[in-house]
Amino acid sequence: MTTVHEPTAANSADLSVWPASATEPPRGDLAVGGVPLAELADRFGTPVYVLDEAEVRDRCRTYRDAFPDAEVLYAAKAFLCRAMAHWMDEEGLGLDVCSAGELELAVTTGFPPEHIVLHGNAKSPRDLGAALRLGVGRIVIDSPSEIARLAAAVGPHGHQKVMVRVVPGVSAGGHDKIRTGTDDQKFGLSISDGYAQHAIARVLDQPQLELTGLHCHLGSQITSVKPYLVAVRRMVGLMARLHEQYGLVLPELDLGGGHGIAYRPGEKALDLTALARRVRTELADACATAGLPVPRLIIEPGRAIVGPAGIALYRVLSVKRTGETVFVAVDGGMSDNPRPALYGVRYAPRLVGRHSGADRARATVVGRHCEAGDVLATDVELPADTHPGDLLAVPVAGAYHLSMASGYNLVGRPPVVAVRNGLARLLVRRESLEDIRSRDVGL
């Protein structure tokens, strides 16, 4: 490897992107939730996702403290399992789901359906059927055709609370593929071309649908407060026009999620306290100007609750140099973390499980899949003596890893292990060859 002599943040003892519980026990290991990662690798195998329960719960509490008057919905798409649904309920959060699958998993484990909001730009009959059968709190309308479909499914004597997802024309988010606040992307109904206003008028024509508020979601991995303030102004502007036109006073405003986090030391995260304070002031000012009562705020963070609480732990399978690059290949890859391939996300893996006195060297961490784009971390610094059998841990792996995992190459999706107070327990078991074989029912 090309050695780099100065110690750098990526592999030194900078624990800023690790869970608050992370400690460095002797002999080069790293412990999270009081459990050494090497011990977890031995007990549960690799690759494995490790989830620090206290970190998840602390992050929920940070939201509740920063937004005491708001409804905080955890965006289940970031990562959902039954334990996670229980933790959210116990911490006083609701849920944002976007499929019958997420909804049924949550409700069948006891999550109160009235605290669930259903999203989706293309809800299937099964999604809507499950939502009505299970009694979700609100359904967010995302297309004109959904209105009549939903009204018919609710029936003339039924009742369903809904919101309308509006595109406020605000560009924000860490990558083109995760920006949803402007026109020409698939989500929501635009204010600028009048589709949002038209859809709202149609909802108001359906007596069984109760419009409780407007929704917008600007995008993901947003690290500045400003786009949210612009969105507040535009959304309240629309609420004011609806008030003038229909005398309508909407009690809720949902600003979605998208709160950015640091994936590598030194990266910026969204300041939640500043977000809460400035959104509150902007909302109060905008409503005062419009002569409207202040609606109840709803927010939908996903990544910022679970992302930094998760770690992906891999075993190194091979190390080789090709051209100028040293490739450290591990036993997972794009099937358990497609994010670098999708959005070019950068991570800062580190060696765990042993101490190395070797200099740092540049390397690219790749997966085991049959795809040249199967890269987990480009151009990172690892000890120059990194070798097969070593353990690499990738921090900030809690959000959009397992939930976006695929069956590529039939390697099986990794298990999820929760750690807390020195104890580890399995939440989701590893997908086995038997699981894969049992779905393959024809010849």
Ligand X SMILES: Cc1ncc(COP(=O)(O)O)c(C=O)c1O
> Minimum distance from CB of 75 to ligand X (Å)?
3
Q: Is 350 in the site for ligand X (CB under 6 A)?
A: no
- 343 is an annotated ligand-binding site residue: yes
- Rounded (10°) CA dihedral 365, 367, 371, 372: 10
Our answer to whether residue 98 is catalytic in this structure is no
Spatial separation of the C-alpha atoms in residues 96 and 117, rounded to whole Å: 5
The answer on whether 339 is annotated among ligand-binding residues is yes
How many CB atoms are located within 10 Å of the residue 433 CB? 10
- Cα–Cα distance for residue pair 267/308, rounded to 1 Å: 13
CA distances from 206 to 73, 114, 159, 221, 332 (A): 27, 21, 10, 36, 50
Q: Is 371 annotated as a binding residue?
A: yes
Ligand-binding annotation for 302, yes or no, is: yes
Closest CA to 350 of 323, 324, 381, 316: 381
Binding mask 271-300 for ligand X (x = CB under 6 A): -----------------------------x
CB of 258 to ligand X, least distance (A): 4
Q: Should residue 256 be labelled a site residue for ligand X when binding is judged by CB under 6 A?
A: yes
- Eight-state DSSP code of residue 124: -
Q: Which is nearer to ligand X, 167 or 411 (CB)?
A: 167
Amino acid at 380: V
Q: Which of 11, 21, 220, 386 binds ligand X (CB under 6 A)?
A: 220
For ligand X, the binding residue among 36, 181, 302, 398 (CB under 6 A) is: 302
142 near ligand X, rule: CB under 6 A: no
Q: Which is nearer to ligand X, 30 or 166 (CB)?
A: 166
Comparison of 115 and 368: residue with beta carbon closer to ligand X: 115
Residue 220 Cβ vs ligand X, minimum distance, rounded to whole Å:
3
Q: Which of 30, 70, 76, 78 binds ligand X (CB under 6 A)?
A: 78
| Beta carbons of 250 and 239 less than 8 angstroms apart | yes
Q: How many CB atoms within 10 Å of residue 153? A: 15
DSSP 259: B
**Whole-angstrom distance, CA of residue 78 vs CA of residue 335:** 16
CB of 89 or CB of 300, closer to ligand X: 300
| Cα 261 from chain centre | 10
Binding residues for ligand X (CB under 6 A): 75, 77-78, 96, 119, 217, 220, 256-259, 300-304, 399
As annotated, the active-site residues are 370
State the binding site for substrate: 303, 339, 343, 371, 400
State the binding site for pyridoxal 5'-phosphate: 258, 300-303, 400
